């Protein structure tokens, strides 16, 4: 995927302007939605970022959050839109840093939903004991860490609580498997379930929420510690200015983002506390 520099665009003061030798500026996206949906949703965003930076930007997707972190650790990706749990793991492992946080419906927080089929008699986490449970990804805060921490805090391991667990590699898929009766319950990202319900998704209509977590800092845009400071500033400026630019505003609207805010690290303390309770 390559893009030509927009006529009249001013190159960033970073790598493109300095003539650094990297082949492309890589923007990575984790599997919060299906790969097809993500590629479609972010194509215009990547195009816009390319034009504003004045250099080619490439979208890379990976099946696992850990693979996104590997790209960021090695500098093979410069910036990524990832989950909160993956950010916490990356910060601990190799100094992954927050760049900006999306504002969605006026908020910079989200929740974990524990869901079951809409016709299920299960009404609580206690009722899920001995049942089949779907996780999204080992690093997912809303899709695994939250539920696991609740059980671990009580001295219980998930393998001893649920009859079977498995990973779906995406929140949409977790919703689908519960709606189809392939799992008794799952833990999913509130932003994705709410969005699918608004769009009339049939799988989202066939599940119900039986538990909602405390607010967590929203999935952030993160930056590789290997990206030069001037490049970071250039990308951050573009993100913050998007709502004030007509074209940028329309692109954000299509992907369901109001705009971007500077990171508030206090928003991520609740997620950090969840991670501290983990024993597996």
Residue 170, φ and ψ in degrees, nearest 5: 180, 145
Write the DSSP symbol of residue 98. Answer: E
Rounded Cα distance between 155 and 142, Å, is: 20
Report how far Cα 142 is from the mean position of its chain's Cα atoms: 10
Burial class (CB in 10 A: 0-12, 13-18, 19+), 12: buried
Which residue segments constitute the domains of the chain, with CATH numbers given? 15-108+218-268 (3.40.190.10), 112-214 (3.40.190.10)
Q: What is the pLDDT along the chain (280 residues), one digit of tens a residue?
A: 332 333 334 444 444 444 444 567 999 998 666 666 777 788 999 999 999 999 999 999 988 999 999 999 999 999 999 999 999 999 999 999 999 999 999 999 999 999 999 999 999 999 999 999 999 999 999 999 999 999 999 999 999 999 999 999 999 999 999 999 999 999 999 999 999 999 999 999 999 999 999 999 999 999 999 999 999 999 999 999 999 999 999 999 998 899 999 999 999 999 999 999 999 9
Write the DSSP symbol of residue 137. Answer: -
Burial class (CB in 10 A: 0-12, 13-18, 19+), 124: exposed
């Amino acid at each position: 995927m390559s893009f030509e520099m927009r006529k009249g665009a001013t190159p960033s003061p970073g790598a493109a302007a300095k003539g650094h030798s990297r082949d492309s500026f890589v923007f990575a996206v984790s599997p919060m939605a299906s790969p097809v949906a993500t590629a479609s949703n972010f194509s215009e965003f990547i195009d816009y970022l390319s034009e504003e930076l004045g250099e080619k930007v490439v979208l890379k997707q990976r099946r696992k959050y850990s693979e996104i972190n590997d790209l960021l650790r090695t500098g093979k990706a410069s910036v990524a839109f990832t989950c909160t749990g993956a950010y916490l793991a990356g910060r601990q492992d190799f100094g992954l840093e927050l760049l900006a946080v999306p504002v969605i419906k006026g908020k910079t927080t989200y929740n974990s939903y524990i869901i079951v089929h809409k016709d299920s008699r299960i009404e609580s986490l206690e009722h899920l004991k001995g049942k089949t449970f779907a996780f999204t990804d080992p690093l997912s805060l809303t899709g695994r860490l939250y539920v696991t921490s609740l059980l671990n805090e009580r001295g219980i391991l998930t393998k001893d609580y649920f009859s079977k667990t498995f990973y779906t590699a995406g929140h949409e898929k977790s919703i689908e498997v519960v709606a189809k009766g392939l799992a008794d319950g799952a833990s999913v990202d509130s932003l994705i379930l709410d969005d699918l319900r608004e769009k009339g998704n049939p799988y989202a209509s066939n599940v119900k929420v039986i538990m909602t977590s405390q607010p967590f800092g929203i999935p952030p845009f993160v930056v590789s510690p290997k990206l030069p400071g001037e490049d970071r500033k250039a990308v951050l400026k573009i993100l913050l200015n998007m709502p004030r630019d007509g074209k940028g505003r329309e692109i954000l609207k299509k992907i369901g983002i109001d705009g971007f805010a500077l990171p508030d690290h206090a928003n991520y303390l609740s997620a950090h506390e969840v991670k501290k309770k983990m024993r597996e």
